[in-house]
Structure 1
């Protein structure tokens, strides 16, 4: 007794994606990773600068001596 599986929408989408990737490889298309965003320090006009999360939390804790 053999069981035949019908492909659902998800399975068909996976097959289409795999086929598209293989076609892109055959055509010489390479995948590029997106560039990482570099953070810049923003100086606000009123003289305040943003703090990192760790710095903000350490400023909120009471001074334990």
Structure 2
């Protein structure tokens, strides 16, 4: 089962401050949440649906920009 396509994964890896040795679904969720504005230092706060949605939209904007840049 594929959760992220290779381009989405590449962008999340590029935007992440530090990569774990093994990439997990949990890491991917946190990476998307960070794109949406999730603050890691508030670790007791759960990741909300709104921050995930904002991060997902930003990830897709970054993917679209990457694809457009490759075409020119």
The normalised TM-score by structure 2 is: 0.34
Q: Which has the higher contact order (CA 8 A, sep 6+)?
A: 2
More helix by share: 2
The normalised TM-score by structure 1 is: 0.38
Greater C-alpha Rg: 1
